[in-house]
Amino acid sequence: MVPLLSLKQFFNDMRRQKLRTLMTTFGIFWGTCAIVLLFAFGKGITEAQLKSQRGLGENIAIFWPGITSKEFKGLPKGRRIRFTEDDIAMIKARATTVSRISPEYSRWSVTIKHGKNTYNQQVIGIWPEFGEMRNIIPDVGSRFINDLDIAGRRRVIFIGDRLKEDLFGSEPAVGETILLDGVPFTVIGVMKEKKQDSSYSGRDNRKGFIPSSTFKTMYSARRLNDFVVQCKPELTMKQTKDEIYGILGGRYKFDPTDTEALSVWDTTEGFAFLKTFFMAFSAFLVGIGVATLITGGIGVTNIMNVVLEERTKEIGIKMALGARKSMILSQFVVETLMITAVGGLSGFLFAYLIVSIFPYLNLDEFIGVPMIDTSIGLLAVVLIGIVGFTAGIFPARRAANLQPVQALKLF
Amino acid sequence: MIEMKELRKAYTTGKVEFEALKGIDLSIKHSEMVAVVGPSGSGKSTLMNIIGCLDVPTSGEYRLEDDPVNEMTSNQLADIRNKKIGFVFQAFNLLPYATAYENIEVPLLFARVSGKKRRERVNELLARVGLADKAGNKPTEMSGGEMQRTAIARSLANDPDLILADEPTGNLDSKSGGEIVKIFHELWSAGKTVIIITHDMNIAEQAQRIIRLKDGLVEGNGNLA
Ligand SMILES: Nc1ncnc2c1ncn2[C@@H]1O[C@H](COP(=O)(O)OP(=O)(O)O)[C@@H](O)[C@H]1O
Ligand SMILES: [Mg+2]
């Protein structure tokens, strides 16, 4: 048990020195609140950006046909390189760096009809893996294209959430039949809403997705519009690209170093940029946080110093009246701990309150949803507490180590 | 009660050392009333602070009730200041933000006197110094005489044997000063050992003995003729 003078004395002192107690508590309240909010918003913004980037898919690259720019084994440059679904099957069979791959047949303006609603939208033919790569998640009660659909060339369609709304409104869509250019298809799934800022051929939410085999038959398609590749998570996209250039280069006889032969969008490059950007952003936040802490700490220290004169005299009086050194110090310790706890906790709660009402302000499109990081809040409280504590305890210790008469006369 | 031998106290300000007490030999018995007089700067307060265990001598011996004060720990000294000695300052030294009641209560809190006893004791002391109706006043709401009476009540809180007063009337008008001196007289009559520093010969003459200090040495020390 701390040799506290007595709770009564303690609370009397706190109550009487209202201003100092209040200012110090407020300093800690403010510092904690500012830092917690800073990091909550920082995290919200970062997450929002990363999420919308992920809407396209993680670790993926898209390959389009290209035109050779180098002569190769006697063949001239300027040849068109295009590919078929068989090529993708070959890459899937041979490539060791690829985790997923899917061909993509595409038709831009397909008439999609349900009842009286008719829309012209893009329809693509893909493999089941396409969904996983591109973060296309089926909504409740839905499923994406599967292997049986491919094998059976089933006339089934998975639709984007906006397209579903256009066609069905709030009515259920799964199990219903819609017409694609007059051909009936059964809706097997609806995409769960997702945030997607980047795309290479329109947003997924207004597209229709059908099995590649069905697409091929229905439109007598031979060439792919493009294919999508996901590299193994432990590897880099560079390795995957090199491997695919090698495989297709062997097949279509182009120089594997001829980057123009295929047209590639490596989304991991953008991701790498975003990650660097947000690392810098985080560093910036840490900088502001540290500055806030220092400012808060100086504020607390100042308040402590303003009252130092009064406090030293008070300590002298108490010692003259028989207070032991440990009683005086423990009072300071408990006082600082209480002020820190109250200030820190209320600062944290206030920040929490702001963060909680934030989603109702409908601003999340711009800056995401702020997320509180408890450990940051705790860290802020502890750091400000240490500063305040140091500011309070050292003068107190110095005073308590004096002879009573010295403390009385110090100022 | 008090024995001092060759007691010296030096203050160092910057590089200059100044000896305020230059070898004091002193003996004060139980239940004596002693006045300490001497010109300003002669070392009266310095001596009184050492007697009251508020400061330590540079050298020499000080025994309080036969215990060597030099050898005591800071906690033992704190307990002595709390229970055995009551100190009254010229500048009152009340806690500015506390009421008369709360100021008097402080030494009782340090002595861990329980709530009910504490209340009784504070009220008894307030009545004794004639401040029963000022219990809730803060120092800023009291006259000098009332503040000094509060300080005296506070010094008596744990019923100490030794009462020390450093120019207790120095900041007071003669009427309030008279009341204060009367209280010290009563305390002495009740068996306490009382030591008062004063410039006022009228007050000094009420003591049994006058100790005269000059330049850090005891000049005269004897019973009044
Ligand atoms: N803390 C101190 N530091 C330096 N000198 C001091 C201190 N306190 C007292 N003195 C000096 O010691 C001498 C005695 O002071 P003091 O005991 O207060 O005298 P008195 O109470 O008799 O007027 C004075 O010359 C004073 O200036
Ligand atoms: Mg003096």
CATH code of B205's domain: 3.40.50.300
How many angstroms away from the CA of B130 is the closest CA of chain A?
22
Answer whether residue A230 is part of any domain: no
Element housing B213 (H / E): strand B209-214
- Cα(B88)–Cα(B154) distance, rounded to whole angstroms? 9
Question: Which domain-ending residue is among A191, A221, A251?
Answer: A221
Burial of A4 (0-12, 13-18, 19+ CB in 10 A): middle
Average the pLDDT over A353-363 and give the result: 79
Average the pLDDT over B205-220 and give the result: 90
Answer whether residue A76 is part of any domain: no
CB < 8 Å from B in window 3-42 of A? 5-6, 8-9, 12, 16-17
Using CA atoms, how far residue B42 sits from B92, B211, B215, in Å, is: 22, 12, 5
Answer whether residue A255 is part of any domain: no
Q: Quick one: A300 and A378 in the same domain? A: yes
How many angstroms away from the CA of A406 is the closest CA of chain B?
8
Per-residue pLDDT band at A227 (split at 50, 70, 90): very high
Q: Quick one: A109 and A173 in the same domain? A: yes
Domain extent for A345: 2-53+272-409
pLDDT at residue B205 in the model: 87
DSSP bridge partners of A230? A60, A100
- Cα(A116)–Cα(A113) distance, rounded to whole angstroms? 7
Mutual orientation of helices B100-110 and B74-83 as an angle, nearest 10°?
130
Statement: residue A411 has pLDDT above 50: yes
The dihedrals phi and psi of B30, each to the nearest 5 degrees, come to -55, 145
Q: Quick one: A208 and A123 in the same domain? A: yes
pLDDT at residue A390 in the model: 77
Number of domains present in the structure of chain B: 1
For B94, nearest residue in chain A (alpha carbons): A317
First to last CA, chain B: 24
Domain extent for B99: 2-223
Chain B interface includes A406 (CB < 8 A): yes
- Cα(B37)–Cα(B166) distance, rounded to whole angstroms? 10
Average the pLDDT over B92-97 and give the result: 90
Q: Quick one: A208 and A279 in the same domain? A: no
Chain A interface includes B49 (CB < 8 A): yes
Answer whether residue A41 is part of any domain: yes
Which has the higher per-residue pLDDT, A111 or A46? A111
Per-residue pLDDT band at B225 (split at 50, 70, 90): very low
Q: Quick one: A25 and A113 in the same domain? A: no
Torsion sign across C-alpha atoms B110, B116, B119, B121: negative
Answer whether residue A248 is part of any domain: no
pLDDT at residue A188 in the model: 95
How many angstroms away from the CA of A370 is the closest CA of chain B?
45
Per-residue pLDDT band at A357 (split at 50, 70, 90): confident
Residue B198 Cβ < 6 Å to ligand 1: no
Q: Quick one: A278 and A394 in the same domain? A: yes
Residue type, B146: E
Query: Over pLDDT 90: what percentage of chain A?
Result: 41
B93 CA from centroid of ligand 1 (Å): 18
Number of domains present in the structure of chain A: 2
* Degrees, nearest 5: CA angle A399-A403-A408: 65
Answer whether residue A95 is part of any domain: no
pLDDT at residue A91 in the model: 95
Q: Quick one: A108 and A43 in the same domain? A: no
ipTM: 0.93
Statement: residue B224 has pLDDT above 50: no
Q: Quick one: A110 and A174 in the same domain? A: yes
- Cα(B5)–Cα(A400) distance, rounded to whole angstroms? 28
Atom of ligand 1 nearest to the CA of B167: 21
Residue B12 Cβ < 6 Å to ligand 1: no
Q: Quick one: A184 and A111 in the same domain? A: yes
Using CA atoms, how far residue B40 sits from A411, B49, B167, in Å, is: 21, 15, 11
Answer whether residue A62 is part of any domain: no
- Cα(B133)–Cα(B127) distance, rounded to whole angstroms? 9
Is residue A105 classed as helix, strand or coil in its secondary structure?
strand
- Cα(A140)–Cα(A393) distance, rounded to whole angstroms? 60
Place of tokens 């160092």: B12
Alpha helices in A97-255, H assignment, sequence order: 129-133, 147-151, 161-168, 212-219, 237-252
First to last CA, chain A: 33
pLDDT tens-digit series, residues A129-174:
999 888 888 998 999 999 999 999 999 999 999 999 999 999 999 9
Statement: residue A4 has pLDDT above 60: no
pLDDT tens-digit series, residues A307-329:
667 778 888 999 999 999 888 88
The dihedrals phi and psi of B111, each to the nearest 5 degrees, come to -85, 0
Task: Give the A:B interface size as CB pairs under 8 Å.
Answer: 69
How many whole angstroms from its chain centre is CA B128?
18
Taking a C-beta distance cutoff of 8 angstroms, is the pair A44, A50 a contact? no
Answer whether residue A241 is part of any domain: no
The structure's pTM equals 0.66
Alpha helices in A189-236, H assignment, sequence order: 212-219
DSSP bridge partners of A138? A191
DSSP string, A307-360: THHHHHHHHHHHHHTT--HHHHHHHHHHHHHHHHHHHHHHHHHHHHHHHHHGGG
pLDDT tens-digit series, residues A128-140:
999 988 888 899 8
DSSP bridge partners of B218? B213
Per-residue pLDDT band at B211 (split at 50, 70, 90): very high
Question: Which domain-ending residue is among A202, A221, A240?
Answer: A221
- Cα(A301)–Cα(A390) distance, rounded to whole angstroms? 8
Burial pattern B21-50, b for ≥16 Cβ within 10 A else e, equals beebebebeeebbbbbbbeeebbbbbbbbb
Neighbours of ion ligand 2 (CB under 5 A): B 45
Taking a C-beta distance cutoff of 8 angstroms, is the pair B60, B23 a contact? yes
For B73, nearest residue in chain A (alpha carbons): A324
Q: Which of B212, B138, B153, B142 is nearest to B187 (CA)?
A: B153
Q: Quick one: A356 and A282 in the same domain? A: yes
Q: Quick one: A179 and A291 in the same domain? A: no
